[in-house]
Structure 1
Amino acid sequence: MLSWNCVRILSSSRAALHVKRPIMNRLCVCKKSVTCLSTSLLKKETWHSSMNPRGLGKGTDLTQYINQAKSLMNYSTSQAKLNCWNCKQPLEDKPSFFCVSCKVVQPPEEGTCYFKIMDCDYTFTVDTHKLQRRYLQLQRSLHPDNFSQKSVKEQEYSESQSALVNKAYKTLLKPLSRGLYMLRLEGMHIEEGTESAADSEFLLELLEINEALDEAWTPEEANKIARDTKEKLAELTELIDAALLKGELQAAKALLVQMKYYANIEEKVKEKLSKFM
């Protein structure tokens, strides 16, 4: 007969397997209770497994998974314990900009995901119209001008919250900064001087575009380059979105490097066109 300890271990393992999929799915949508920052606790294959349940378990150690799940639960618990600095009542919303009980502005929660702040799904294809509405809504209530007659602490918190909302909005508004931020949440970075990450054929193509832009003598020539660049950026946006949905982070990183170059060309085109005005 199995000992009582063995029975407990088997029961715990079965329970962990049953909760595995819900925990994975929570990582992909930032509206859930665990903030996006917790996704950086998991490896690439974890994100991929949430998209493909059949891949779950391949190369995944049960003990490692349980430890990761405990880390997420602890992180969630610490967030749930936040109280208002003024009246000490528990804060219901996460992130909390104001206390529901005393209506006092709260300090920013360290490490809160930008997607969570802006009430957006954790996806590369963000609804920018919804993002802008959320930004205006938050700034109307958090702008420091609204707290000029309040205490010094409230003024400081409103300034911090307003600055954080600005940063989150600007980061998520454009595809390049949004994609780079999503990779940072996964522990991946694209450093300055990324020439080594691009192949020679791609760099040659960029060189030709830059030369054509330098030699553009009319607005029509510059606008032609602008249209081509816009089309290329739209194509890269679709490819990056597909790569992220599949959990192919290395592919997404390589595509974001290309997007970074084309975004630079787009800015150069704008500068060129301004000279014709």
Structure 2
Amino acid sequence: MKLQHRYQQLQRLVHPDFFSQKSQTEKLFSEKHSTLVNDAYKTLQAPLSRGLYLLKLQGIEIPEGTDFDTDGRFLVEIMEINEKLAEAQSEAAMEEIESTVRAKQKEFTDSINRAFEQGDFEKAKEILMKMKYFSNIEEKIKLSKSPL
């Protein structure tokens, strides 16, 4: 709620609607800063993008397409969820998968918060890599729900 409140405060200061009667320079300033506020809000709102941003502030980046050494159990879990998703024939089966993924992401979010609080950035990086896998599954679920 703090994030949303701060976002709304900042948008009241810089939103282009409030600059329609101002100079061209002020309009451009407003558009640029409104976009920055929107991007910041989107980044901080989602646990995965927020965690990646916090790691970046520590000088740690996870390049796209990077895989990591993880225990085989995790990879098997991902493969099993993907198989269930591919085989899901009913809305109930899809909802069960979605519920499992949501619970796992909640668990990861709690773990990532603890890792950052403890300053354990390597642990945070490991959790974020796992969150990326589950985020990909979430995207597949969204795609399967939306009509073509």
Q: Which residue of 1 aligns with 2:18?
A: 146
- State yes or no: 1:134 paired with 2:6: yes
The more displaced of 206-215 and 195-204 is 195-204
Deviation string 1:206-252 (CA, Å, 9 cap, x unpaired) is 11111110110100000000010111111111111111111111011
What residue ranges of structure 2 are gaps of 5+ in the alignment?
A: none
Q: Which structure has the larger Rg over C-alpha atoms? A: 1
SS at match of 1:195: coil
TM-score (norm 2): 0.92
Whole-angstrom distance in 1 between the partners of 2:48 and 2:2: 18
- State yes or no: 1:188 paired with 2:60: yes
Whole-angstrom distance in 1 between the partners of 2:63 and 2:57: 15
1:200 CA displacement:
3.2
How do 1:27-38 and structure 2 match up within 5 A? none
Whole-angstrom distance in 2 between the partners of 1:264 and 1:163: 26
How do 1:83-232 and structure 2 match up within 5 A? 129-232=1-104
* Structure with more of its chain in helix, by fraction: 2
RMSD of the TM alignment (CA)?
1.6
SS at match of 2:146: helix
Alpha carbons 2:43, 2:53 under 8 Å: kept: yes
Q: Which residue of 1 aligns with 2:137?
A: 265
Whole-angstrom distance in 2 between the partners of 1:204 and 1:168: 35
What residue ranges of structure 1 are gaps of 5+ in the alignment?
A: 1-128
Aligned length: 148
Q: Which residue of 1 aligns with 2:127?
A: 255
Alpha carbons 1:139, 1:162 under 8 Å: kept: yes
1:270 CA displacement:
2.1
Structure 1 runs (4+) greater than 4 angstroms displaced: none
Alpha carbons 2:16, 2:34 under 8 Å: kept: yes
Whole-angstrom distance in 2 between the partners of 1:255 and 1:235: 10
1:158 CA displacement:
0.7
